[in-house]
């Protein structure tokens, strides 16, 4: 039997494999349970079955024809756009903090501070802001909110990347006559590409899954995001866990897909220096 | 290097432009139109009145050509959504149906309009036709009218005839003690099969746990406030009611603290519990094939148990909703016309028997006596008549919502075993209520 | 390296900064604006419908700081955050090490490990509420299979176990974040360093302890900080699973703020509690932040 090689280049450790399998089980079993429930009727769920006796597709079909697909579209648009905006705002800020010590510790702290707190009370002033901009009860407004909310985290994560960039390249560009903005756009941004992807994926997942602001900002049925739609299902007078399970899984497909497809990129991006 | 950055910049900016475009379109669509041609009204409904909202929208548009935009909200978020909408200046909502208990706080915050004059000048509203016990709490704060009753919402006791028979019980309970005895018997006999004596709503939310408490308080003859508006929540009756909750906790469907409407109702429809306190429309739903009910034809309904033999049963107004007009709406007249329609006798009667079930209960004397209602659901009609005599209503003035939350939290602690005795708990509630609900 | 660059900066620094400033400015203003509102609301009588009615100074903040419920919630929140963050970090690091040292760790393994992170917290709450449901949930079904005839387990209704139940769901959901952060750092370790160490005779656990873990200590610390902050902000799970109950057993600070501001319309009190929480969070996260910054070298 050929020796199996692990990620660090050495022989595979049995202890590590055992622990990994345990971790995989812990991650997968609850999700498998949720999937199983999505094929059960409420009677079967209440009876405490683990697997459906008479599997039904009704919940999945119901989820397809209900508010979920629209909610997925809304969530995707909002999270992708807000992540992009956040990155556009965060990269210059991270660079300014690291390279120029702009504002020093105080500025760095100012970025991080809003992210540290539960944003509940902030709903009131942000609502007013949206109204002033004419964006209340729109997905655009929600996108803007998410973009602002996550800048702190993005700056924190990007600082490490930017710090590791070779200064010589920037110096060279400056000697060639490039201004600050030029250096940023032509040197820093491309070099941090993988990191931007990695942080972007994290931002997309965080925005997609956000509930509190979405519940307040998206009042009308066609602007609801996935977490809001699922939460509404929970407050119906008749419980149907199977229906909620199917809708939840369907609504979770995009972030699962993003995480799955991009996990390699994510790791690469983080390896290029993230929070090291 | 340049290209990728520029490409990204371009795609981001075009995405932004698109978003703003789509967003403003969406924004236009969701805000009430107000242009010439089609008129619109945005109405905030409770999530569980979804079927009712659809019916109302359809009917009203057919009659008047005005389009109704229903917006649904979970039952415990209506008041805050309303307040935020008005305070932030978003003003997207014209009419709403908040829980009547929040009327006082909404009025104090300037979120809803004083409609006293309009009501006085509009005899068609027929105020006297409203069930008296319902009219006052659902409409009036400090002698001013802020709302019209939408949904009566009293609780009654449903029982599963099959389960009772199986356990040798020939009559449903008349007192809360009998209820406890019967439930205990059933649970002892059948809990191994997943069948329990009762389903009790105990989730820590005023509309849920509060309802269970109010039902018992009504039965024991207690009140939240006395005639002067002073809290009487530490009275012997209140203590008995709290104790009754503690007693049933052990034999009820596990566990009341995790039982909200969804869980409790599901257990009922699946035939897993013998007793459940619920709105009268549960009967309608139990017979309706679209809810997947397995108890069609097997249930009975009666008034809630009382404290002692021979006591007069009282209705408990647990979660009624009122029609209100928002403070900043620009469509005052249209809103008035709509709520006059929605609170009318004809509409109330129609909503009682619609399928899919709308979740609405009688709020008027005339709809209570409606023929169709009586024909299709005579038992339910009968128990709703209890509202004619006396009813227990929640406090509705300023800080009422907070008071309700305080009571709920203390009761939850009591049931969980961390609140001391029932007496100690209710005394603590009384103290806090005296501060909160003191007349300014 | 960075110092060199900054020191050599000369000339019109402001002009150069200016090109970057707009984005920074916009971000700062938009980020500070809610903070200013919160401070303003905390020192005034503010309701949801009518903010800033009258100035009450520090009274409201003091009242909140001396309220037993608030203090209890802050203490609860702090203990919860520390325990959950520690558990997530340890488990996440262990999983990352396992990924690093096991040949089973392919794309499939990594995707499966990431799944909990991708689920919306609302869904995680629903799932674990289902698992913990005393009549019919996954846990209860297992109990009936292994120990029939015993009392149903009602984790979320138990005053002591409820918060443990939420912690389990919380840890399950966010540990993958730590895993990928630490794993990425591990595979970035110089191969030569590892080879040299193993040539020197270091194996297995010793290798891990003395070489690998210290090499990624900075990442672990940073991940711990992120996890700590997330744990302090816990809200969604409480909303779906227990609504703060039973009693006050799971009333975490964010839940308290929500109740005050949104349910009871008392934005002033909500803001006061938020400020107190800000102080607590800053105090607790400062040490790990400093450690993380120092390890960045």
CB within 8 Å: C243 and B205: yes
What subunits touch chain C, counting only 3 or more CB pairs under 8 A? Answer: A, B
- List the 205-234 stretch of B: residues with Cβ below 8 A of A: none
Which residue on chain B is closest to C53 by alpha carbon? B109
**How many percent of chain B have pLDDT more than 70?**
89
Q: Give the pLDDT score at C18.
A: 56
CB A212 within 8 A of CB A123: yes
Q: Which residues of A touch B6 (CB under 8 A)?
A: 185
CB B22 within 8 A of CB B73: no
Most confident of A108-112, B9-13, B253-257: B253-257
Is residue C4 predicted with pLDDT exceeding 80?
no
pLDDT tens across C77-125, in order? Answer: 999 999 999 999 999 999 988 888 887 777 888 888 888 988 888 889 9
Q: Which residues of C touch B415 (CB under 8 A)?
A: 246
Is residue A274 predicted with pLDDT exceeding 60?
no
Alpha-carbon gap: B427 to the closest alpha carbon of chain A (Å): 32
Q: Give the pLDDT score at C297.
A: 43
Q: Give the pLDDT score at C207.
A: 65
Chains A, B: CB contacts under 8 A, how many? Answer: 143
Q: Which residues of A touch B2 (CB under 8 A)?
A: 185-186
Cα-flanking dihedrals φ and ψ of residue C137, to 5°?
Answer: -75, 170
Q: Name the domain count of chain B.
A: 2
Q: Which of B254, B410, B417 sits opposite C154 (nearest CB)?
A: B254
Q: Give the pLDDT score at C17.
A: 58
Least-confidence region, from A84-98, B313-327, C26-40, C212-226: C26-40
B16 within domain boundaries: no
- C105 vs B198, residue with greater confidence: B198
Q: Give the pLDDT score at A271.
A: 67
Q: Which of A6, A98, A121 sits opposite C38 (nearest CB)?
A: A121
Going by CATH, does the domain composed of C60-295 fall within 1.10.3720.10? yes
Residue A185 touches chain B, beta carbons under 8 Å? yes
Which residue on chain C is closest to B85 by alpha carbon? C49
Q: Which of A9, A46, A171 sits opposite C136 (nearest CB)?
A: A46
Q: Give the count of beta carbons closer than 10 Å to the beta carbon of residue A21.
A: 14
The domain spans of chain C are: 60-295
CB B22 within 8 A of CB B327: no
User: Mean pLDDT of all residues in chain C?
Assistant: 81
CB within 8 Å: B405 and C133: no
Q: Are residues B95 and B163 in the same domain?
A: no
Q: Which residues of A touch C198 (CB under 8 A)?
A: 10
The span from the CA of C21 to the CA of A103, in Å, is 11
CB within 8 Å: B294 and A43: yes
Beta-bridged to residue C275, according to DSSP, are none
**Cα C263 vs. chain centroid, distance in angstroms?**
25
The span from the CA of C160 to the CA of B298, in Å, is 40
pLDDT tens across C213-222, in order? Answer: 777 888 888 8
The domain spans of chain A are: 14-59, 62-271
One-letter-per-residue 3-state SS of chain B: CHHHHHHHHHHHHHHHHHHHHHHHHHHHHHCCCCCCCCCEEEEEEEHHHHHHHHHHHHHHHHHHCCEEEEEEECCCCHHHHHHHHHHCCCCCCCEECCEHHHHHHHHHCCCECCCHHHHHHCHHHCHHHECHHHHHHHHEECCEECCEEEECCEEEEEEEHHHHHHCCCCCCCCEHHHHHHHHHHHHHHHHHHCCEEEECCCCCCCCCHHHHHHHHHHHHCCCCECCCCCECCCCHHHHHHHHHHHHHHCCECCCHHHCCHHHHHHHHHCCCEEEEEEECHHHHHHHCHHHCCCCCCCEEEECCCECCCCCCCCEEECCCEEEEEECCCCCHHHHHHHHHHHCCHHHHHHHHHCCCCCCCCCCEHHHHCCHHHHHHCHHHHHHHHHHHCCEECCCCCCCHHHHHHHHHHHHHHHHHCCCCCHHHHHHHHHHHHHHHCCCC
CB B24 within 8 A of CB A138: yes
- List the 73-92 stretch of B: residues with Cβ below 8 A of C: 76-77, 79-80, 83-84, 86-87
Which residue on chain C is closest to A22 by alpha carbon? C95
Alpha-carbon gap: B402 to the closest alpha carbon of chain C (Å): 5
Q: Which of A30, A148, A226 sits opposite C120 (nearest CB)?
A: A226
B22 within domain boundaries: no
Task: Indicate the pLDDT class of residue B439, thresholds 50, 70 and 90.
Answer: low
Tokens 């807000």 locate to A82
Q: Give the pLDDT score at C206.
A: 66
- B204 vs A268, residue with greater confidence: B204
Residue partners of A65: CB distance under 8 A and separation at least 6: none
Is residue B288 predicted with pLDDT exceeding 90?
no
**Cα C255 vs. chain centroid, distance in angstroms?**
15
Q: Give the pLDDT score at A4.
A: 63
Confirm whether the ipTM is greater than 0.90.
Answer: no
CB within 8 Å: A239 and B266: yes
Q: Which of B114, B102, B46 is nearest to B74 (CA)?
A: B46
pLDDT tens across A19-57, in order? Answer: 899 999 999 999 999 999 888 877 777 666 778 778 888
Residue A209 touches chain B, beta carbons under 8 Å? no
Is residue A248 predicted with pLDDT exceeding 50?
yes
CB B315 within 8 A of CB B307: no
Task: Indicate the pLDDT class of residue B387, thresholds 50, 70 and 90.
Answer: low
Q: Are residues B418 and B274 in the same domain?
A: yes
**B353: containing domain:** 37-153+319-390
Alpha-carbon gap: C245 to the closest alpha carbon of chain B (Å): 6
Alpha-carbon gap: A54 to the closest alpha carbon of chain C (Å): 17
CB within 8 Å: C157 and B258: yes
Q: What are the structure tokens assigned to A270, written together?
A: 């983080």
Residue partners of C23: CB distance under 8 A and separation at least 6: A88, A89, A92, A93
Residue A46 touches chain C, beta carbons under 8 Å? yes
Which residue on chain A is closest to C2 by alpha carbon? A99
Task: Indicate the pLDDT class of residue B25, thresholds 50, 70 and 90.
Answer: very low
By the 10 Å C-beta count (0-12 exposed, 13-18 middle, 19+ buried), C101 is classed as buried
- B362 vs A220, residue with greater confidence: B362
CB within 8 Å: A43 and B270: yes
User: Mean pLDDT of all residues in chain B?
Assistant: 83
Q: Give the pLDDT score at C296.
A: 58
One-letter-per-residue 3-state SS of chain A: CCCCECCCCCECCHHHHHHHHHHHHHHHHHHHHHHHHCCCCHHHHHCCCCCCCCCCCHHHHHHHHCCHHHHHHHHHHHHHHHHHHHHHHHHHHHHHHHHHCCCHHHHHHHHHHHHHCCCCCCHHHHHHHHHHCCCCCCHHHHHHHHHHHCHHHHHHHHHHHHHCCCHHHHHHHHHCCCCHHHHHHHHHHHHCHHHHHHHHHHHHHHHHCCCHHHHHHCCCHHHCCHHHHHHHHHCCCCCCHHHHHHHHHHHHHHHHHHHHHHHHHHHHHHHCCCCC
Q: Are residues B371 and B426 in the same domain?
A: no
Q: Are residues B386 and B290 in the same domain?
A: no
pLDDT tens across B158-183, in order? Answer: 999 999 999 888 889 999 999 999 99
The span from the CA of B423 to the CA of B246, in Å, is 12
Q: Which residues of A touch B261 (CB under 8 A)?
A: 235, 237, 239
pLDDT tens across C269-293, in order? Answer: 888 898 888 889 888 888 887 777 7
Q: Are residues B171 and B66 in the same domain?
A: no
Within 13 Å and on the Cβ side, how many CA atoms surround B420?
10
Residue B252 touches chain A, beta carbons under 8 Å? no
Is residue B247 predicted with pLDDT exceeding 90?
yes
Instruction: Indicate if the alpha-carbon torsion angle A70, A73, A76, A80 is positive or negative.
Output: negative
Task: Indicate the pLDDT class of residue B21, thresholds 50, 70 and 90.
Answer: very low
The span from the CA of B78 to the CA of A219, in Å, is 11
Which residue on chain A is closest to C46 by alpha carbon? A124
Q: Are residues B132 and B194 in the same domain?
A: no
Question: Rounded mean pLDDT of B399-421?
Answer: 90
Q: Give the pLDDT score at C11.
A: 44
Alpha-carbon gap: B390 to the closest alpha carbon of chain A (Å): 27
Q: Which residues of C touch B410 (CB under 8 A)?
A: 247
B6 within domain boundaries: no
Question: Rounded mean pLDDT of C145-154?
Answer: 80
Q: Which of C152, C243, C247 sits opposite B418 (nearest CB)?
A: C247
The span from the CA of A164 to the CA of A174, in Å, is 18
CB within 8 Å: A27 and C16: no
Angle, nearest 10°, between helix axes C13-42 and A139-149? Answer: 110
Residue partners of A21: CB distance under 8 A and separation at least 6: C104
Q: Are residues B182 and B59 in the same domain?
A: no
CB within 8 Å: B262 and A219: no
Which residue on chain A is closest to B78 by alpha carbon? A216
CB C73 within 8 A of CB C253: yes
Alpha-carbon gap: C283 to the closest alpha carbon of chain B (Å): 30
The CATH topology of domain A62-271 is: MetI-like fold (1.10.3720)
Is residue B242 predicted with pLDDT exceeding 90?
yes
Q: Which of B154, B138, B159, B428 is nearest to B300 (CA)?
A: B159
Residue partners of C57: CB distance under 8 A and separation at least 6: C43
Which residue on chain C is closest to A8 by alpha carbon? C100
Question: Rounded mean pLDDT of B223-236?
Answer: 88
Least-confidence region, from B159-173, C23-37, C141-155: C23-37
Q: Which of B204, B257, B405 sits opposite C264 (nearest CB)?
A: B405
Least-confidence region, from A156-165, C11-20, C99-108: C11-20
- Size (chain B), residues: 440
Q: Which residues of A touch B292 (CB under 8 A)?
A: 41-43
Within 13 Å and on the Cβ side, how many CA atoms surround A127?
30
Is residue B7 predicted with pLDDT exceeding 50?
no
B25 within domain boundaries: no
**How many percent of chain A have pLDDT more than 90?**
12
Q: Which of B15, B24, B92 sits opposite A81 (nearest CB)?
A: B15
Which residue on chain A is closest to B14 by alpha carbon? A81
CB within 8 Å: C119 and A45: no
Which residue of A63, A90, A117, A215 to mutate against C (max C Cβ within 10 Å)? A117
Question: Rounded mean pLDDT of A93-113?
Answer: 70
Q: Give the pLDDT score at A107.
A: 67
Is residue B279 predicted with pLDDT exceeding 70?
yes
CB within 8 Å: A140 and B89: no
The span from the CA of B73 to the CA of B81, in Å, is 8
- List the 113-172 stretch of A: residues with Cβ below 8 A of C: 113-126, 129, 148, 151-153, 156, 160, 163, 167, 170-171
Q: Which of B86, B192, B413 sits opposite C248 (nearest CB)?
A: B413
Q: Give the pLDDT score at A76.
A: 93
The span from the CA of B85 to the CA of B83, in Å, is 5
Alpha-carbon gap: B389 to the closest alpha carbon of chain C (Å): 32
CB B199 within 8 A of CB B252: yes
Task: Indicate the pLDDT class of residue B353, thresholds 50, 70 and 90.
Answer: confident
Is residue C175 predicted with pLDDT exceeding 60?
yes
Chains B, C: CB contacts under 8 A, how many? Answer: 100
């Amino acid at each position: 039997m050929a020796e199996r090689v692990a990620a660090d280049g050495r022989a595979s450790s049995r202890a590590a494999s055992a622990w990994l399998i345990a971790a995989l089980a812990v991650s997968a079993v609850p999700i498998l349970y949720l999937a199983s429930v999505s094929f059960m009727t409420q009677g079967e769920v209440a009876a405490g079955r683990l697997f459906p006796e008479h599997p039904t597709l009704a919940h999945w079909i119901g989820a397809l024809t209900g508010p979920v697909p629209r909610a997925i579209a809304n969530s995707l648009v909002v999270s992708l756009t807000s992540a992009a905006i956040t990155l556009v705002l965060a990269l210059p800020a991270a660079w300014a903090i690291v390279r120029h010590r702009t504002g020093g510790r105080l500025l760095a702290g100012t970025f991080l501070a809003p992210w540290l707190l539960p944003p509940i009370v902030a709903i009131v002033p942000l609502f007013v802001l949206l109204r002033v901009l004419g964006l209340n009860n729109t997905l655009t407004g929600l996108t803007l909110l998410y973009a602002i909310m996550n800048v702190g985290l993005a700056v924190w994560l990007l600082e490490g990347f930017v710090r590791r960039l070779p200064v010589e390249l920037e110096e060279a560009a400056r000697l060639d006559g490039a201004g600050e903005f030029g250096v940023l756009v032509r040197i820093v941004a491309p070099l941090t590409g993988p990191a931007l992807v990695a942080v972007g994926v994290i931002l997309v997942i965080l925005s997609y899954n956000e509930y509190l602001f979405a519940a307040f900002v998206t009042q009308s049925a066609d602007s609801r995001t996935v977490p809001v739609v699922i939460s509404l299902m929970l407050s119906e007078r008749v419980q149907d866990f199977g229906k909620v399970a199917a809708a939840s899984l369907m609504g979770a497909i995009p972030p699962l897909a993003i995480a799955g497809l991009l996990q390699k990129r994510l790791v690469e991006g983080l390896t290029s220096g993230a929070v090291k | 290097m340049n290209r990728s950055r520029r490409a990204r910049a371009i795609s981001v900016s075009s995405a932004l432009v698109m978003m703003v475009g789509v967003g403003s379109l969406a924004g236009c669509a969701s805000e009430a139109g107000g242009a010439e041609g089609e008129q619109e009204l945005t109405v905030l409904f409770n999530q569980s009145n979804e079927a009712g909202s659809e019916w109302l929208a359809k009917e009203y548009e057919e009659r008047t050509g005005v389009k109704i935009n229903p917006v649904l909200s979970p039952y415990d978020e209506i008041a805050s959504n309303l307040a935020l909408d008005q305070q932030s200046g978003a003003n997207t909502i014209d009419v709403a149906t908040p829980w009547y208990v929040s009327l006082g706080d909404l009025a104090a915050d300037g979120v809803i309009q004083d409609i006293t004059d309009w009501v006085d000048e509009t005899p068609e509203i027929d105020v006297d036709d409203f069930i008296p016990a319902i009219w006052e709490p659902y409409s009036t704060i400090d002698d001013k009218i802020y709302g019209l009753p939408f949904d009566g919402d009293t609780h009654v006791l449903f029982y599963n005839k099959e389960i009772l028979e199986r356990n040798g019980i020939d009559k449903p309970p008349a007192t809360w003690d009998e209820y406890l005895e019967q439930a205990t018997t059933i649970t002892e006999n059948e809990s191994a099969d997943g069948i329990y004596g009762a389903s009790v709503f105990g989730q820590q939310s005023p509309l849920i746990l509060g309802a269970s408490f109010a039902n018992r308080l009504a039965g024991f003859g207690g009140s939240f406030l006395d005639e002067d508006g002073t809290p009487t929540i530490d009275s012997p009756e209140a203590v008995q009611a709290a104790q009754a909750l503690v007693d049933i906790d052990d034999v009820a469907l596990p566990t009341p603290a995790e039982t909200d409407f969804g869980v409790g109702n599901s257990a009922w429809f699946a035939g897993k519990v013998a007793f459940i306190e619920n709105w009268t429309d549960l009967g309608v739903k139990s017979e309706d094939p679209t809810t997947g009910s397995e108890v069609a034809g097997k249930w009975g309904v009666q008034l809630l148990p009382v404290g002692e033999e021979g006591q007069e049963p009282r209705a408990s107004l647990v979660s009624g909703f009122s029609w209100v007009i928002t403070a900043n709406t620009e469509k005052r007249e249209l809103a008035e016309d709509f709520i006059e329609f929605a609170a009318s006798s004809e509409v109330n009667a129609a909503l009682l028997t619609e399928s899919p079930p709308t979740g609405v209960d009688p709020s008027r004397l005339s709809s209570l006596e409606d023929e169709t209602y009586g024909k299709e659901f005579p038992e339910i009609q009968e128990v709703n008549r209890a509202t004619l005599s006396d009813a227990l209503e929640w406090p509705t003035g300023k800080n009422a919502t907070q008071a309700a939350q305080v009571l709920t939290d203390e009761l939850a602690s009591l049931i969980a075993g961390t609140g001391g005795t029932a007496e100690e708990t209710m005394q603590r509630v009384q103290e806090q209520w005296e501060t909160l609900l003191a007349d300014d | 390296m960075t110092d060199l660059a900054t020191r050599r900066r000369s000339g019109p620094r402001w002009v150069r900064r200016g090109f970057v400033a707009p984005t920074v400015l916009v971000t700062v203003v938009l980020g500070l604006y809610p903070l200013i509102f919160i401070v303003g609301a905390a020192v005034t009588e503010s309701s949801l419908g009518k903010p800033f009615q009258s100035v009450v100074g520090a009274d409201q903040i003091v009242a909140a700081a001396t309220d037993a419920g608030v203090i209890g919630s802050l203490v609860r929140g702090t203990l919860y955050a520390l325990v959950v963050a520690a558990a997530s970090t340890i488990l996440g690091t262990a999983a990352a090490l396992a990924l690093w040292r096991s040949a089973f760790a392919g794309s499939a393994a990594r995707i499966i490990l990431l799944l909990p992170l991708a689920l919306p917290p609302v869904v995680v709450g629903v799932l674990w509420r289902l698992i913990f449901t005393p009549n019919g949930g996954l846990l209860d079904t297992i109990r009936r299979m292994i120990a029939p005839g015993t009392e149903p387990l009602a984790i979320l209704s138990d005053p002591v176990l409820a918060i443990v139940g939420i912690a389990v769901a919380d840890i399950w959901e966010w540990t993958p974040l730590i895993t990928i952060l630490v794993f990425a750092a591990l595979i970035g370790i110089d191969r030569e360093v590892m080879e040299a160490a193993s040539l020197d005779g270091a194996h297995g656990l010793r290798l891990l302890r003395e070489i690998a873990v210290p090499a990624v200590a900075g990442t672990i610390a940073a991940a711990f900080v992120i996890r700590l902050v997330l744990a302090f902000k816990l809200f969604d799970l409480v909303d779906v699973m227990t609504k703060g109950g039973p009693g006050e057993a799971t009333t975490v600070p964010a839940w308290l703020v929500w109740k005050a501001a949104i349910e009871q319309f008392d934005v002033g009190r909500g803001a006061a509690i938020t400020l107190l929480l800000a102080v607590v969070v800053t105090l607790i996260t400062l040490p790990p932040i400093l450690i993380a910054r120092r390890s960045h070298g």
